[in-house]
Chains A and B, each alone.
Chain A
Amino acid sequence: MTILGEYALWIALPISVWGMLLGYVGGRTQRGDYVLSAERSIYAVFFLLVLASLGIVSAFLGDKFEYWYIASYSNREMEFFYKVTGLWAGQRGSLLFWAVILAFFSTLCVFLNRKKNREFMPYVAGVLQTILTFFLVVLLFADVNPFEQLAFTPANGQGLNPQLQNYWMTIHPPTLYLGFTAFTIPFAFAVAALLNGRLDARWIELTRRWILLSWLFLAVGIIFGMRWAYEELGWGGYWFWDPVENASLLPWLTATAFLHSIQIQENRGMLKVWNMSLVLLTFLLTIFATFLTRSGLIESVHSFAQELKIAYIFLSFMGVVLLACILLIIYRLPKLQSENSIQSFLSRESAFLFNNLILLGAAFAVFWGTIFPLVAEGVTGQQVSVGPPFFEKVNFPIGLVLLALAGIGPVIAWRRATKRNLQKNFQIPIMVGCFVAIALWIAGARHGLALVTWSVCAFVLTVIATEFWKGTRARARIEGEGFAVALFHLVTRNRRRWGGYIVHVGIVMIYFAFAGAAYNVDERQHVLPGDQINITSPFGHIYTLTYEGLSVSLGRGQRNLLWQAIATVSVEQDGVAKGILTTEKRQYVTSDQLMTEVGIRSTVREDLYLILSAMDDVDGALSANSSAQGIDLQVLVKPFVLWIWAGGLILALGTVIALWPSVDRRRRSSRPELEAVTTGAPAIAGVAR
């Protein structure tokens, strides 16, 4: 099976090149047989890549250590689950996995469009095959072939990095990859529109769902990664501005900008060049993210690769794509003229434009901070590091303005808003925001940035709640429906608008939690069994932690464990017992480094987070000698962390609502516009009755 998989990878390359050429030629010469052949080649490449992936998985399951990849990322003791997910545990497998997901989305795209949007499809097929060809060339010629064999067969493999043996780590990379690769489809449609010259709003309409889908996967993938860092890395945080984290954030920022600015193009026929550029930029950033993650160019927690050849291949590809896209846009400039101009500074389109500039500003800051060390090292030869303080200093104010815009945007009308209306609409939300700030101040909160963030959160939530209230009330009145039914219809008849607002609620929750970090409590103490630590939470209650002792045991080969030391701590809150937390140090066969497992007690208000920082005497503790069980215990109290994960759920829910196909849309194309008029706007519906 493994050898067949390797053959499949080689067969896929000429098929992919064939499809690429026939896609472009078929589009140019309008030859239907060429186009069909190009489309079929996408199905074929998907099939072959699935075969190749099965080849790798079967090699993992069969412990075929003659393959470099298997010997490096697996061993006999590894659990079945991690052997299957070993496909994306390392760079080589990840690249193959990436190509499979891309081929899957390409297949889905070709299949869904087999009877519609036909004038786009030749070029779409061509572009998709171009990207697939690129990944196949990388896999086969950049010294990263996952099927590469060693000159000998080791008795056992080196095993998987223990930090990656975590539930979140098995779902975090695939989710991000889904996000990165799904964005290739909008990119392909954009390039197809540039090539066939059909640059009206249609390509945007065709790709909106794909973009939302990609955005959703990126957002969820980023949050999964935060969760993994929080649980597994053992330093008490969820985001460290690590280059790879930044790399996944970049396309998310530009895709967010795009999701807002396409509304200007749809509503006002403006910003066509801008939108086109955003799609191209986001696509390039997804490739850049793969490049950073998997080229080993920038050392980070995530980078486990050293090869540089692949870096050059990636850079050249990005350069060629960028140049080709710029030339295409210049060639099509006459067709990309704006149909309108901004009528007033006080209008939703100008708010959206502002939001775009800010998002791009944030993306640029993150990008620059990420690659600056590299550039500086190249120029001066000295290693420089750009740490969290830089990113926080730049991104905190930017983030706050963005948050405020999420509250301002919905209240400003398209085209023209008047000051009087703005005053009227902003009065209550601003008052609520101020009230929250004052109340928190009285309650004892003194951290300026946190206070401002929370008060802006309150402002945005009030705006969104008012929007829901007004919309529901209007619908209930005009359609004579009950409030619950009216709310349901309101959301389902304009999913995009209301789904978007729900996403904003999720974002507000996440900001709310971020600001809580200003009140983190962090203490480290040396304790012996029986010692107590008293920690005052920012909410005023007192945790009494009693260190019960350290239990060290030797592993018996399961999960490659050599030994583990478990510190047990019983927790009381204001004198009431709240159970027991454990935190561990583990030594794995596969790594010299000691791994930390943290103990977390999560509540709505705060997380109690315990880290076993150091141990006095592991050998002594192994012989159950209680005087040798002294440890350094780090105790953190982190307010509102649970709200990040909850906010992520709400965000996902809102996005799913926004991208869910409406029943009417499935019927006939003539329906939705009527739906829009007769039911989306209560007023017109009232008139039409």
Chain B
Amino acid sequence: MSTVFLGGALVAAAVTLFILQPILSGLHASLDRAEDELTDTEARKRVALLALRDVEYDFLAGKLDEKDYLSLKADLTAEALEALEADAEGSEPHFLDDDVEAEITKIRAALRSGLMCVSCGFGNDDGSHFCSECGQQLKIGAVG
């Protein structure tokens, strides 16, 4: 019995020491956002891009009319670009790799240019005026 009691006392002492140590010896847990976490602007950007992705998907899958698609896409592209630009003005470069940055630029350009065929969804090369997949005339510069 006394051995068990001693065991219990030891457990209690060890546990108490374990939880009091930070206060006694000044150990601190961080309370700030870590460097690689999303900031609010980044979160907004992400949401805008994801929404854009959904609209693209819905259009490709035939759930959206071309007219609605173009107007929604214009709205969302504007939102996404705004968020991207707001982000670029901030102190963000520390968390982006160069290649990531380059990809964003590419996406930005592609979003603006309207090289994607609204009829079949094919992504065309620069300078195209007609879709190489289905022959539809491309609406270059129609959105963004």
Interface residues of A (CB under 8 A from B): 3-4, 7-8, 11, 15, 18-19, 30, 32-37, 39-41, 43-44, 47-48, 51, 114-119, 121-122, 200-202, 205, 266-267, 269, 411-418, 420-421, 424-425, 467, 470-471, 474, 477-478, 668-674, 676-678, 680-689
How far, in angstroms, from A680 to B55 measured CA to CA in the complex? 12
How far, in angstroms, from A182 to B120 measured CA to CA in the complex? 44
Are A416 and B64 in touch, CB under 8 angstroms? yes
User: Which residues of chain A have C-beta atoms less than 8 A from B28's C-beta?
Assistant: 32-33, 35-36
Rounded to whole Å, the gap between the CB of A220 and the closest CB of chain B is 29
Are B72 and A687 in touch, CB under 8 angstroms? no
* 16 interchain pairs, CB-CB under 8 A: A3-B4, A34-B22, A40-B21, A44-B15, A48-B11, A115-B34, A121-B31, A413-B68, A417-B64, A421-B62, A471-B57, A477-B122, A668-B36, A669-B38, A682-B56, A684-B110
How far, in angstroms, from A467 to B54 measured CA to CA in the complex? 13
Are A4 and B47 in touch, CB under 8 angstroms? no
Are A687 and B20 in touch, CB under 8 angstroms? no
Are A18 and B19 in touch, CB under 8 angstroms? yes
User: Which residues of chain A have C-beta atoms less than 8 A from B116's C-beta?
Assistant: 683-684, 686-687
Interface assignment of B139: CB less than 8 Å from any CB of chain A? no
Taking A7-B11, A680-B50, A686-B122 as given, write out 6 further A-B residue pairs in contact, using a Cβ cutoff of 8 Å, ordered by the A residue number. A32-B31, A51-B11, A115-B30, A118-B29, A414-B58, A673-B50
How far, in angstroms, from A512 to B129 measured CA to CA in the complex? 51
How far, in angstroms, from A34 to B28 measured CA to CA in the complex? 8
Using an 8 Å CB-CB cutoff, how does the interface string of B14-52 with A read, 1 for contact, 0 for none?
011011111100111111111011101011011101111
How far, in angstroms, from A420 to B66 measured CA to CA in the complex? 12
Rounded to whole Å, the gap between the CB of B130 and the closest CB of chain A is 15
Rounded to whole Å, the gap between the CB of A275 and the closest CB of chain B is 15
How far, in angstroms, from A689 to B36 measured CA to CA in the complex? 27
Interface assignment of B60: CB less than 8 Å from any CB of chain A? yes
- For chain B, the count of residues having a C-beta within 8 Å of the partner chain is 70
Which 7 residue pairs of A and B lie closest in terms of their CB atoms, listed nearest first? A686-B123, A32-B28, A7-B8, A687-B110, A36-B22, A36-B29, A413-B58
Known: A682-B121, A683-B121. A471 touches B61 (CB 8 A): yes
Q: Which of B20, B30, B37, B56 contacts A684, CB < 8 Å?
A: B56
Are B37 and A688 in touch, CB under 8 angstroms? no
Known: A4-B4, A4-B7, A201-B47. A470 touches B27 (CB 8 A): no
Are B63 and A39 in touch, CB under 8 angstroms? no
User: Which residues of chain A have C-beta atoms less than 8 A from B106's C-beta?
Assistant: 688
User: Which residues of chain B have C-beta atoms less than 8 A from A668's C-beta?
Assistant: 36, 95, 97
Known: A37-B22, A681-B53. A688 touches B68 (CB 8 A): no
User: Which residues of chain B have C-beta atoms less than 8 A from A414's C-beta?
Assistant: 51, 54-55, 58
Interface assignment of B142: CB less than 8 Å from any CB of chain A? no
User: Which residues of chain A have C-beta atoms less than 8 A from B68's C-beta?
Assistant: 413, 416, 418
Are A478 and B123 in touch, CB under 8 angstroms? yes
Residue of B5, B60, B97 most packed against chain A (CB within 10 A):
B60
Are A420 and B65 in touch, CB under 8 angstroms? yes
Q: Which of A412, A424, A474 contacts B60, CB < 8 Å?
A: A474
Rounded to whole Å, the gap between the CB of B20 and the closest CB of chain A is 7
How far, in angstroms, from A581 to B18 measured CA to CA in the complex? 60
Rounded to whole Å, the gap between the CB of B138 and the closest CB of chain A is 11
Q: Which of B20, B33, B51 contacts A37, CB < 8 Å?
A: B20
Rounded to whole Å, the gap between the CB of B107 and the closest CB of chain A is 5
How far, in angstroms, from A675 to B131 measured CA to CA in the complex? 25
How far, in angstroms, from A470 to B50 measured CA to CA in the complex? 19
Residue of B31, B52, B59 most packed against chain A (CB within 10 A):
B31
How far, in angstroms, from A569 to B59 measured CA to CA in the complex? 60
How far, in angstroms, from A116 to B36 measured CA to CA in the complex? 9
Are A673 and B45 in touch, CB under 8 angstroms? yes
Residue of B29, B111, B122 most packed against chain A (CB within 10 A):
B29
Are A37 and B19 in touch, CB under 8 angstroms? yes
Rounded to whole Å, the gap between the CB of A584 and the closest CB of chain B is 45
How far, in angstroms, from A684 to B123 measured CA to CA in the complex? 7
Known: A30-B31, A416-B72, A678-B107. A117 touches B37 (CB 8 A): yes
Are B12 and A44 in touch, CB under 8 angstroms? no
How far, in angstroms, from A406 to B50 measured CA to CA in the complex? 22
How far, in angstroms, from A276 to B42 measured CA to CA in the complex? 23
Identify the closest chain A residue to B22 (Cβ). Answer: A36
User: Which residues of chain B have C-beta atoms less than 8 A from A416's C-beta?
Assistant: 64, 68, 72
Are A470 and B62 in touch, CB under 8 angstroms? yes
Are A415 and B72 in touch, CB under 8 angstroms? yes
Are A684 and B60 in touch, CB under 8 angstroms? no
Are B123 and A689 in touch, CB under 8 angstroms? yes
Are B37 and A116 in touch, CB under 8 angstroms? yes
Residue of A18, A35, A421 most packed against chain B (CB within 10 A):
A421
How far, in angstroms, from A680 to B32 measured CA to CA in the complex? 32
How far, in angstroms, from A120 to B114 measured CA to CA in the complex? 42
Rounded to whole Å, the gap between the CB of B134 and the closest CB of chain A is 11
User: Which residues of chain B have C-beta atoms less than 8 A from A118's C-beta?
Assistant: 29-34
Identify the closest chain B residue to A678 (Cβ). Answer: B103
Are A47 and B15 in touch, CB under 8 angstroms? yes
Q: Which of B7, B18, B33, B40 contacts A200, CB < 8 Å?
A: B40
Rounded to whole Å, the gap between the CB of B32 and the closest CB of chain A is 6
How far, in angstroms, from A417 to B107 measured CA to CA in the complex? 26
Are A266 and B63 in touch, CB under 8 angstroms? no
How far, in angstroms, from A412 to B62 measured CA to CA in the complex? 10
Rounded to whole Å, the gap between the CB of A339 and the closest CB of chain B is 10
Are A682 and B60 in touch, CB under 8 angstroms? yes
User: Which residues of chain A have C-beta atoms less than 8 A from B52's C-beta?
Assistant: 677, 681, 684
Rounded to whole Å, the gap between the CB of B75 and the closest CB of chain A is 9
